[in-house]
Structure 1
Amino acid sequence: MTLGTMDGSTIKNRLKSLLRSPSIKLRKSRRSIKENFTNKVTLERVLGITTTGNSGLACDPCSGTVAYPAGCVVVLLNPKKNRQQHINNTSRKTITTLSFSLDGKYLVTGETGHLPAVRVWDVAEGSQVTELQEHKYGVACVAFSPNSKYIVSVGYQHDMGVNVWAWKKNTLVAANKVSSKVTAVSFSEDSSYFVTAGNRHVRFWYLEPCNSLKVSPVPLLGRSALLGELQNNNFCDVACGYGDKSECTFCITSSGLLCEFNEKRMLDKWVDLRTRAARALSVTEDLIFCACADGTVRVFSPADLRFLCTLPHPHHLGSDVAASIHHR
Structure 2
Amino acid sequence: MPSRTPPKRRPLRTPPRLGTNKVADMELAYTIGLTATASGSIACSPATGSIAYPAGCMVVVYNILHDRQQYFSTKGVQKAISCVAFPTGRSTVTGYVAAGETGHQPAVLVWDTRTSQVCATLKGHKYGIMSVAFSANGKHIISAGIEHDGQICIWEWKSGLQLMRQKLSDPVRALACSNNGATFATVGPRGHFTFWSFGGDPSGGSLPAEARPADLGAELRGGDFAAVAFSARKAAGDPAPAAAYALTADGRLCYLQPTRKLQKWV
Give the C-alpha shift of residue 211 in structure 1.
4.2
Matched residue count: 242
1:95 equivalenced with 2:81 (yes/no): yes
Q: Distance in 1 between matches of 2:215 and 2:135?
A: 24
Higher helix share: 1
Q: 2:66 aligns with which of 74, 81, 90?
A: 81
1:257 equivalenced with 2:252 (yes/no): yes
Instruction: Find the structure with the greater CA-based Rg.
Output: 1
Mark the CA change 1:170 to 1:256 in structure 2 (over 3 Å): closer, same or farther.
same
Moved over 6 A (4+): none
SS at match of 1:101: coil
1:152 equivalenced with 2:131 (yes/no): no
Mark the CA change 1:34 to 1:234 in structure 2 (over 3 Å): closer, same or farther.
farther
1:237 equivalenced with 2:232 (yes/no): no
Residue 100 of structure 2 aligns with which residue? 110
Superposed counterparts of 1:137-176, under 5 Å: 137-176=127-166
Residue 130 of structure 1 aligns with which residue? 120
SS at match of 1:38: helix
Give the C-alpha shift of residue 47 in structure 1.
0.9
Q: Distance in 1 between matches of 2:115 and 2:192?
A: 38
Give the C-alpha shift of residue 242 in structure 1.
2.1
SS at match of 1:55: helix
1:271 equivalenced with 2:256 (yes/no): no
Mark the CA change 1:84 to 1:206 in structure 2 (over 3 Å): closer, same or farther.
same
TM-score by length of 1: 0.69
Structure 2 letter corresponding to 1:210: D
Q: Distance in 2 between matches of 1:170 and 1:210?
A: 16
Residue 48 of structure 2 aligns with which residue? 63
Superposed CA offset, 1:32-65 (max 9, x none)? x352133201111111111112211111112111
Structure 2 letter corresponding to 1:228: G
Indicate if the aligned counterparts of 1:56 and 1:69 stay in contact, CA closer than 8 A: yes
Indicate if the aligned counterparts of 1:71 and 1:95 stay in contact, CA closer than 8 A: yes
Residue 217 of structure 2 aligns with which residue? 228
Q: Distance in 2 between matches of 1:130 and 1:148?
A: 14
Q: Distance in 1 between matches of 2:194 and 2:247?
A: 14
Q: Distance in 2 between matches of 1:175 and 1:271?
A: 32
SS at match of 1:36: helix
Indicate if the aligned counterparts of 1:175 and 1:219 stay in contact, CA closer than 8 A: no
Structure 1: runs of 5 or more not aligned: 1-22, 273-328
Q: Distance in 2 between matches of 1:129 and 1:244?
A: 31
Give the CA RMSD over aligned residues.
Answer: 2.1
Give the C-alpha shift of residue 221 in structure 1.
2.2
Residue 201 of structure 1 aligns with which residue? 192
Q: Distance in 1 between matches of 2:168 and 2:19?
A: 47
SS at match of 1:243: coil
Indicate if the aligned counterparts of 1:233 and 1:255 stay in contact, CA closer than 8 A: no
Mark the CA change 1:271 to 1:258 in structure 2 (over 3 Å): closer, same or farther.
same
Higher relative contact order (Cα pairs below 8 Å, separated by 6+ residues): 2
SS at match of 1:153: strand
Structure 1 letter corresponding to 2:100: G
Structure 1 letter corresponding to 2:248: T
Give the C-alpha shift of residue 262 in structure 1.
2.2
